[in-house]
Amino acid sequence: MDVLPTDAALTALRAAFSEDLVSFDRDLFGTYGRDWTRVFDPAPCAVARPRSTAEVAAIVGFCATNDIAVVPSGGRTGLAGGAVAARGELVLSLERMRRMDPVDRVAQTVRVQAGAVTEAVHEHCAPHGLTWPVDFASKGSSHVGGNIATNAGGVKVIRYGLTRHWVLGLEVVTAQGQVLSLNGALEKNNTGVDLRQLFIGSEGTLGIITEATLRLSRLPGALDVMLYAVPDLPAVLRLFDAARQGPFTLSAFEFFTDRAAARVRRHRGLEAPFAVEGGCYVLVEAEAADREALEQWAAGLFEQSLVSDGVLAQNRTQAAALWQLREAISESLSGTGVPHKNDVALPIAALAPFCASLDALFAERYPGWEVVLFGHIGDGNLHINVMKPEDLERTEFFARTGEADHALFTLVRAHGGSISAEHGIGLLKKPYLAYSRSPEEIALLRAIKQAFDPRGILNPGKILDA
Amino acid sequence: MKILVPLKRTADPDNANKIKIGAGGAKIETTGLEPKANPFDEYAVEASLRLLENGQTKVRIAGDKLTIASFGPKEAATNIRQALAMGADDGLLFLSDDNALDGDLIARALAKVVEQQMPDLVVLGKQAVDGDSNQVGQILAELLQWPSATFAMSMELSADKKTVIVGREVDGGVIKLRLTLPAVITVDLRIVAPKSVVNHVTPATFTYPDGARFTPLPMIIKAKSKPIVEASLASLGVDTALKSKYLSFALPPARKGGVKVKDVAELVQKLRTEAKVL
């Protein structure tokens, strides 16, 4: 469904629900109609803020019979336009549904409503020595429901895996306004196709998640943070190999180039403890039972000439300062220029040849363009940021990045990678989906959408064309 | 030139919400708090290293020495080891129970350490972040009858190494004191600003990064073979009776929740009648 709601439908909507539940206040539209992408202009028809699953079901049921499209809305921190309402949809925000039940310490689970803020869940579980190990920079705003609907990634994926691994049960409102209770709080339930998994990562196109039973993990012990200097990407991967064998549990393995560090220096005035001309920085976070063994391992890196420089944070202040060098990159790129962002995944073995081809591609076709690389290299996840050259107009730049993306994604496909590692597809990456999914797969995705939402009222036009 | 830096192992006050008071207000429960070196003492180590090296080449001046002294449990060796990794040469650990120490006893014990070690300069953090007593440097200078400057935000060692000019922030500006060595200096946060320490060896063009240095991993390994001498506090021959008596501890009263006002008029009225600031 891809048409504006009729006047009759809107009048009926106004009559059916209180202004508190479904608001037509235009002042809300700009906020609720978009996510962190700034490419699309928000234009919803209404903003609904239900307080219970029953209210969600009532609103969706009404929209289904009146052909009003619904965009589910969490913390709206997405980077692919998945929560954008630009075509007269009703935005259904879960922000009033943030109840968190008591933590079950024995089962290591907690049931929460979809609007619970990720960081609030962390704080709720911490006194029990437990955590929901879904963690990223936007955790202060993002919602559990959004995390699940986008199968969110983040910096701890290397240790804990994606959000998918940390969801036991779901309560979902279907496109018909029915309520499904999926898997309860069961660790094991081998009774045919696991419908719960279909909703995880569906970006709100198959149903609206209203509650979840989350699987929890014990809080990690003391984490040691190290920063290393290496000459190039193959050296980053040799260090990764060494870290995989190290006497500790790896909890983050992040890399960034000296170009990224230079942008952070310009924007935030943060200095790395050492310089690496033309090379890469690697941030390693590890939970070591035996710090002595960790230090010995680190000493070995110098003996084997795997690294040219390195520091180990001696306290939490220093650890936070090292993390800042990595976490400030995204903001510093936008603060010092105009970046065009891509978020690709590659098999670890393909990373080095892929980056070599990427360098060659830009050197040949886009000479003088600055390409800034960073990312969760341990997961094969590269953030590729192309910076707008000073002398190129903005519109001209984005027209050319559109064409560059096709060349880039051709490379990604050739190396067996994915065009969206963790940001999702939404609206932004939809034109490129075929680089990662075969025609047969896309046909199946369409069939699944058709089965769950035959009228196409849930988040239409996201992932697949409506 | 020889510098002595006393270093205290403290319970991390950043975990303030975890601080608990023992039964009857007798003492602060430190179990569950992360132990770490007093940050002001780390700044003292950093500032001392800047006096003793060429910052540009990171080469230490031949013949100079930096010694760390600590009082506390055996575990305090970890914190001394960190200072050794930063670049200090050796450590002294005088074993004692944290609860059997006060500022006066530490100062008297340090005076004995100074007698033994004969440093040209004692550089201390201005205070420890756990008790915030701010006493040791001052009492030590008095016991030694040495010149002293507290809350240093800058230090300039003369080329002949006979005097140090210390900058102290005061209301309305900076006051500079010239101390003749040997002397006692306590340092404030700004002592680790990029240009705070001048030794006439590091080129004037060189700029340090802000804050205490990161320890390069090879230095951490090297620090393992640097000596830390353990001895009992009693071996210093000081009277271990405490002069400070702590009567009781209490947490500050919890903050009252705020209120929302509906308009400016109500705000002004509340500022008049409740806050009584207008």
In chain B, where the domains are located: 2-273
Residue B179: alpha-carbon gap to chain centroid: 20
CA separation, residue A138 to residues A135, A152, A260, A330, B159 (Å):
8, 11, 20, 12, 52
Pairwise CB contact (< 8 Å): B218 & A313: no
Q: Which residues contact B202 (CB under 8 A, 6 or more apart)?
A: B50, B53, B54, B55, B56
- Scan residues 177-216 of B and list those with Cβ closer than 8 Å to A: 209-211, 213-216
- Which of B12, B82, B221 shows the shortest C-beta gap to A314? B82
Tallying the residues shown for chain A, one arrives at 466
A125 at the B interface (CB within 8 A)?
Answer: no
Nearest-Cα residue of chain B relative to residue A309: B216
pLDDT digits (tens, 9 = 90+) for A161-204: 999 999 999 999 999 999 999 998 898 899 999 999 999 999 99
Tell me which residue has tokens 């490419």: A39
Reported as a pLDDT band with limits 50, 70 and 90, residue A252 is: very high
pLDDT digits (tens, 9 = 90+) for A116-170: 999 999 999 999 999 999 988 789 999 999 999 999 988 889 999 999 999 999 9
Q: Examine domains A109-218 and A223-330 and report if their fold is the same.
A: no
Residue A375, classified by CB atoms within 10 Å of its CB into exposed (0-12), middle (13-18) or buried (19+), is buried
CB pairs under 8 A between A and B: 48
Residue B16, classified by CB atoms within 10 Å of its CB into exposed (0-12), middle (13-18) or buried (19+), is exposed
* pLDDT given for residue B252 in this prediction: 81
Nearest C-alpha of chain B: how many angstroms from A16? Answer: 31
- Scan residues 269-328 of A and list those with Cβ closer than 8 Å to B: 271, 273-274, 295-296, 298-299, 301-302, 309-318, 321-322
Tell me which residue has tokens 């960190």: B82
Does the CA dihedral A55-A199-A93-A84 come out positive or negative? negative
Higher pLDDT, B131 or A348: A348
User: Mean pLDDT per segment of 10 residues, for chain B of length 278 residues?
Assistant: 96 72 79 85 97 93 95 94 96 93 95 96 94 94 97 96 95 95 97 96 92 90 94 94 87 83 91 86
A7-95 to CATH, choices 3.40.50.720, 3.30.43.10, 3.90.980.10, 1.10.3720.10: 3.30.43.10
Pairing of strands B2-6, B121-125: parallel
Chain B residues near residue A302 by CB distance under 8 angstroms: 217-218
Cis preceding-peptide flag for A389 (omega within 30 of 0): no
- Which of B34, B213, B217 shows the shortest C-beta gap to A302? B217
* pLDDT given for residue A149 in this prediction: 97
Nearest C-alpha of chain B: how many angstroms from A269? Answer: 10
How far apart, in whole angstroms, are the C-alpha atoms of residue B180 and residue A97? 68
Pairwise CB contact (< 8 Å): A311 & B217: yes
Higher pLDDT, A330 or A68: A68
Chain B interface, best mutation among A230, A296, A315, by max B CB count within 10 A = A315
Nearest C-alpha of chain A: how many angstroms from B275? Answer: 32
- Which of B12, B213, B216 shows the shortest C-beta gap to A310? B216
pLDDT digits (tens, 9 = 90+) for A205-227: 999 999 999 999 999 988 999 99
B39 at the A interface (CB within 8 A)?
Answer: yes
Chain A residues near residue B209 by CB distance under 8 angstroms: 271, 273
* pLDDT given for residue B157 in this prediction: 97
pLDDT digits (tens, 9 = 90+) for A281-321: 999 999 998 988 999 999 899 999 999 999 999 888 889 99
- Which of B211, B215, B221 shows the shortest C-beta gap to A311? B215
Are the C-beta atoms of residues B1 and B51 closer than 8 Å to each other?
A: yes
Tell me which residue has tokens 């939809």: A430
* pLDDT given for residue A227 in this prediction: 96
Q: Where are the domains of chain A?
A: 7-95, 109-218, 223-330, 337-421
Reported as a pLDDT band with limits 50, 70 and 90, residue A270 is: confident
CATH code reported for the domain at B2-273:
3.40.50.620
Q: What is the DSSP letter of A283?
A: E
Q: What is the DSSP letter of B23?
A: G
Class of domain A223-330: alpha beta
- Which of B34, B39, B220 shows the shortest C-beta gap to A312? B220
How far apart, in whole angstroms, are the C-alpha atoms of residue A53 and residue A71? 16
How far apart, in whole angstroms, are the C-alpha atoms of residue A5 and residue A283? 50
At the topology level of CATH, where does A337-421 sit? Alpha-Beta Plaits (3.30.70)
* pLDDT given for residue A2 in this prediction: 54
How far apart, in whole angstroms, are the C-alpha atoms of residue A171 and residue A400? 44
Chain A residues near residue B39 by CB distance under 8 angstroms: 317
* ipTM confidence score: 0.74
HSE, CB side, 13 Å, CA atoms: give it for residue B212. 27
Q: Which residues contact B150 (CB under 8 A, 6 or more apart)?
A: B126, B137, B138, B168, B185, B186
Pairwise CB contact (< 8 Å): A226 & B82: no
Helix axes A233-245, A291-303, angle to 10 degrees: 140
Nearest C-alpha of chain B: how many angstroms from A385? Answer: 28
* pLDDT given for residue A274 in this prediction: 86
* pLDDT given for residue A405 in this prediction: 93
At the topology level of CATH, where does A109-218 sit? 3.30.465
Tallying the residues shown for chain B, one arrives at 278
* pLDDT given for residue B102 in this prediction: 92
Whether A400 has a pLDDT exceeding 80, the answer reads yes
Whether A391 has a pLDDT exceeding 60, the answer reads yes
Tell me which residue has tokens 């990045």: A401
* pLDDT given for residue A45 in this prediction: 95
* pLDDT given for residue A447 in this prediction: 97
Pairwise CB contact (< 8 Å): B14 & A302: no
Reported as a pLDDT band with limits 50, 70 and 90, residue A1 is: low
* pLDDT given for residue A115 in this prediction: 98
| CA neighbor of A45 nearest in space, from A33, A57, A56, A62 | A33
pLDDT digits (tens, 9 = 90+) for A17-53: 999 999 999 999 999 999 988 778 999 999 999 999 9
How far apart, in whole angstroms, are the C-alpha atoms of residue A344 and residue A351? 11
Chain B interface, best mutation among A224, A271, A292, A314, by max B CB count within 10 A = A314
A226 at the B interface (CB within 8 A)?
Answer: yes
